[in-house]
Structure 1
Amino acid sequence: MNVSSEASSASTDLSRIKRGPIVAALIIGAFVAILNETLLNIAFPDLMKEFSISPATIQWLSTAYMLVIGVLVPVTALLQQWFTTRQMFLTAMILFLVGTIICGSAPVFEMLLVGRVVQALGTGLMLPVMMNTILVIYPPEKRGGAMGMIGLVIMFGPAIGPTLAGLIIDQLDWRWLFFLVIPLAAFSVVFAAVFLRNVSDITKPKVDILSIVLSSIGFGGIVYGFSKAGESSWSDPEVVWTITVGGIALVLFIVRQLLVREPILNLRAFKYPMFSLVTVMMLVLMMTLFSTMILLPLFLQTALLMTAFKAGLTLMPGGVINGIMAPISGKLFDKYGPRVLVVPGLILVLLSVWLFTDISVNTTAGYVITLHIILLVGISLVMMPAQTTGLNQLPRHLYPHGTAILNTLQQVAGAIGTALFISIMSSGTKDFMTKTPNATPAEGLVAGLHNAFVIALFIGVIALVLGFFIKRVQAPKEEEKHVQASENGSFNL
């Protein structure tokens, strides 16, 4: 860490900062953003009818959201060294509020997509700020519990989101999915303006424009290429060229980050083996998770012919249990370390995905609920403990870079996973319908889903293998002063 960074770290007085109001402000903002994301997923079938668009097109509401976050988040490591915690978070929530208003009033699909992009700008700024702030104000031995508490509140959004969305769509109109979020987002802005405090170190490093351009082309090109493949085919010249250009730009970006004195994304974080292991494992796991989140609502409403409300009710128990498990897994992590949670969690994820490969048009709602609960219990045992383990090994000056790396690769993996599995499902459906002309569309969809879940299962096995190598790590020596300052302060949640 350079001299200016050390000086700034020393000048950031954490001893008088209380955790409670800061964490509350972060949680409210994250809850609002994630609630809106889960509200929209279950509305996809209705939006397809409203705007007369295909599944490959509707996925852009999800893919573009993740694409923007994937392009923006690498830059947040730089932004957090230029702007205060308050400036970053308030800008993020105001952008999210504006995007929500645009979505709610959108007369055409293109305007709805623009609104989603503006929302994504807000979310992309907010997520790394939240994680970095937790790392700064909590000592390593208490971060599991803090992450678990955040997980509890954040998972309340996915728990009630699908059910609430189904009720709104059945009784009102899809636009109310956004109208109801507007007052919540506005409240988040006001609450953060009053209670949020600055905890970040402002070092104002040099801005490397070329790195930003290469990052945007690299991550953007790869995600766009995979998304386009979901619409057309993998042999489409546009798909081949965008993935190729994105890959080349990404390689150049990586090389430049290792050469410049002040990189916008410090890839030297990968010198820490546990952080590297967790990053790869989370990348693989997020592909499986995002694909399941997209495929299940389609299966429930298209194959099982459920209403949006009933589909939401079906997905609700898993979300509730996931939320309940978050603080429990956080406390267990602080006490026993990551491996006793991560390995069983990944086994549960694989078990649920394997059982999903055998679903059919005769599958009962109770069976889907059971598998969904197993999946999300497994996820709750893996997500926060694994991420916290990886970030705990980093020195403090790499926190913004570590959180940016994790958030970037997770969002990119989610976008690629969504596009990949939608493509696999669509291709499998077409093949089945061609070979079985008398089959119903629901049977064709199920055949496509089988193919997608089989691939997800193989990808999940990779995550499990990596999970066996995760272990508790010690905080770097430079953390000791930070921990001492934390313990001397008035830190009550």
Structure 2
Amino acid sequence: MSEKKRRTDQPIDQNGRPYNRLLLVFTMLVGTFSTFLTSTMLTTAFPTLMTSFNISANTVQWLTTGFMLVMGIVIPITGFFLQRFNSKNLYLSAILIFSTGTVMCLFATNFGMILAGRLIQGAGVGITAPVYQTIMTSIFPPSKRGAAMGTAGMVIGLAPAIGPTLAGWILMHYSWRMLFLSILPISLVVLIMGWFTLRKVLPTQKAPIDWLSVLLSVLGFGSMLFAFSSVGDYQWTDPIVYVTLTVGVIVVGLFIWRSLKINNPLLQLKVFKQREFTLSAALVAVSFMSMNGFTLILPLYLQTIRGETPLASGLTLLPGAIVIGLMNPITGRIFDRLGARNMSIAGMFLLTVITGSFIPITATTPVIDIVCLYTVRMLGISMVMMPVTTTGMNALPLNLISDGTVVNNTARQVFASMGTAVLVSVMSNVTMNNVPNQAVAKATPILFKKLALHANVVGFRYAFGIATLFAFIGLVMAFFLKPHKGAA
């Protein structure tokens, strides 16, 4: 075989050496799937962890919101890492960081230690996600790129969807520590495989990074999330809430101002000059606010109100997970025919109506009704995410595609973490305000138990109401997307 023929048949890395693209993709697929799996695995375990560490729902949700916020902060920095460092070493380093956080969670003896481990995990996942997506885009020719990105999207979408179900099964048979122990061998295998199968497939250069922007983003978004998360323990009028929220808004404003002024911003905000991209990014962010928070509080309802086991609550979410996994490739084909506007309007309408159907929920609502409603809800979400993201990216010029990806992923993670914090805070706050005082508990214990249960139900109703509001805002926004060119 001639040298020219060999180079045509086999991809070449940045060092001019041939590599096996299938093995490279498989390694990153397994690694990224395992890291994204942990983003939602703990939602089913929240009641168990609340008991183990003697903490409230408002505190335990930091294991998810903190994880997502760190992801949102690290993703834009990864854009710099991709320009500066060998993609092979960067991905393996991310898996090593993730594994370190997993070990900390496994051996945690208090809540502070497991939270620190989760934040470190979030940093690792914040690197693996954009590296995975960028490499998948870069190593395939345009004719095969659609299928490659469909596979990438399915992994990133399916892993978080099945996380709660898998965690429920593990908790049914083992300790919560097994949630982390089960992930470690996979990470070790990926590290070993990656050493031999991954390659430097992206060009590198000495790109500068603005560390002041990094500091502003951490302080700004961190303060805002802390404020939203504190509402469950305090009140909106408490200084610890409104002061940190005000500081967060001001610092984020400074971050945006600096990003628009300097030549090497952490986030290239000029992508928002494209109206369609701005609208799509906002729509996806609002959808994530509704989706992630809802997926977190539904297992809490099933276990604390209904007394379901972790496995049962996880299985309740499984049909919805299957639907979103199966629909991701299909929505791409439908998108080509109907366009993002029609699909997102239909999807957001389903999401709004079905989420609203959870508002009158009671302690005796049939589980089969919850399963069916949640499954249809995930169908609506699958009709929005990929089509709207794609139409936003298509609106950008080629030189801004990578910047648009970073901005989109960052907005999605930051708003998802804030949406989750808002829903849990509202649930906790409303429940606290409706629980009868201790005098009732001493006088009539049975009545107190009944009223306390009702207070918890009311808390969940308000949380579902806020999730419905997020979905309705998304529905309104969907009407402003441009009509499909093939539409009549």
1:280 maps to 2:291: no
Q: Tell me which amino acid in the other structure corresponds to 1:216.
A: V
Distance 2:331 2:250 in 1: 40
Deviations 1:195-225, CA, capped at 9 Å, x for gaps = 3333434233322222222222222222222
Match of 1:462 in 2: 473
Q: CA deviation at 1:241?
A: 2.1
C-alpha RMSD over aligned residues: 2.6
Q: 1:396 to 1:93 in 2, by over 3 A?
A: farther
Q: Which residue identity is paired with 1:209? A: W
C-alpha separation in 2, matches of 1:458 and 1:193:
47
Equivalent position amino acid for 1:462 in 2: I
Larger RCO (CA under 8 A, 6+ residues apart): 1
- Aligned with 2:454 (options 443, 456, 465): 443
**1:308 aligns to what?**
310
Aligned to 1:481: none
Taking a change above 3 Å as real, the CA distance of residues 55 and 13 of structure 1, as seen in their structure-2 partners, is: same
- Which among 435, 452, 455 is matched to residue 463 of structure 2? 452
SS in 2 for 1:41: coil
Distance 1:189 1:400, change over 3 A: farther
Distance 1:282 1:14 in 2: 39
Unaligned runs of 5+ in 1: 1-10, 475-493
The residue that corresponds to 2:226 in the other structure is 224
Provide Cα deviations, 1:461-486, integer angstroms capped at 9, x if missing partner: 11112223334899xxxxxxxxxxxx
Structure 2 Cα separation of the partners of residues 280 and 240 of structure 1: 24
**Structure 1 residues 72, 155: closer, same or farther in 2, change over 3 A?**
closer
1:397-450 CA-to-partner distances (Å, cap 9, x unmatched) read 433322221121111111211111111112222333349975343322211111
Counterpart contact for 1:275–1:393, Cα < 8 Å: yes
Provide Cα deviations, 1:290-340, integer angstroms capped at 9, x if missing partner.
Answer: 110111001111111101111111111111121111111123334553234
Q: Answer yes or no: is the 8 Å Cα contact 2:39–2:67 preserved in 1.
A: no
How far, CA to CA, are the matches of 2:478 and 2:19 in structure 1? 36
Matched residue, 1:252: 254
Which secondary structure state, in structure 2, belongs to the residue aligned with residue 469 of structure 1? coil
**2:43 counterpart letter in structure 1:** N
State whether residues 38 and 160 of structure 2, in contact with CA within 8 Å, keep that contact through their aligned partners in structure 1.
no
CA gap of 1:209–1:34, structure 2 versus 1, over 3 A, is closer
SS, match of residue 239 in structure 1: helix
Q: After the TM superposition, which residues 48-127 of structure 1 pair with which residues of structure 2 at under 5 Å, given as runs?
A: 48-127=50-129
Query: Is 1:370 aligned to residue 372 of structure 2?
Result: yes
Distance 1:199 1:392 in 2: 24
Code of the residue aligned with 1:174 in structure 2: it is W
Q: Given the alignment, which residue of 34, 37, 50 partners 1:32?
A: 34
Match of residue 338 from structure 1:
340
- Give the fraction of aligned pairs with identical amino acids, expressed as a percent: 38
- The number of aligned residues is 464
Deviation per CA, 1:373-403: give whole Å up to 9, x if none: 0111111121122222222333344333222
Q: Distance in 2 between matches of 1:365 and 1:291?
A: 20
- Separation in structure 1 between the aligned mates of residue 474 and residue 324 of structure 2, nearest angstrom: 20
- Structure-2 change in CA distance of 1:59 and 1:134 (3 Å): same
**Superposed, which structure 2 residues align to 1:78-227 within 5 Å?**
78-137=80-139, 144-227=146-229
* DSSP-derived class of the 1:110 partner: helix
Query: After superposition, what is the alpha-carbon deviation per residue over 1:115-139, rounded to whole angstroms, capped at 9, x for unaligned?
Result: 1111011011112222333443457
Q: Alpha-carbon deviation of 1:147?
A: 3.4
Q: One-letter code of the match for 1:296?
A: L
Give the conservation status (yes or no) of the 8 Å contact 1:159–1:317: no
Tell me the secondary structure at the aligned position of residue 231 of structure 1.
Answer: coil
Deviations 1:233-275 (A, max 9, x none): 2222222222222211211111111111222221111122221
Instruction: Give TM-score scaled by structure 2 length.
Output: 0.88
Deviation, 1:368, is 0.6
2-structure distance, mates of 1:412, 1:469: 23
Aligned 1:273-422 pairs, distance under 5 A: 273-334=275-336, 336-422=338-424
Letter matched to residue 446 of structure 1: V
The 1:430–1:28 alpha-carbon spacing in structure 2 relative to 1, beyond 3 Å, is same
SS of alignment partner, residue 232 of structure 1: coil
- Separation in 2, partners of 1:352, 1:199: 44
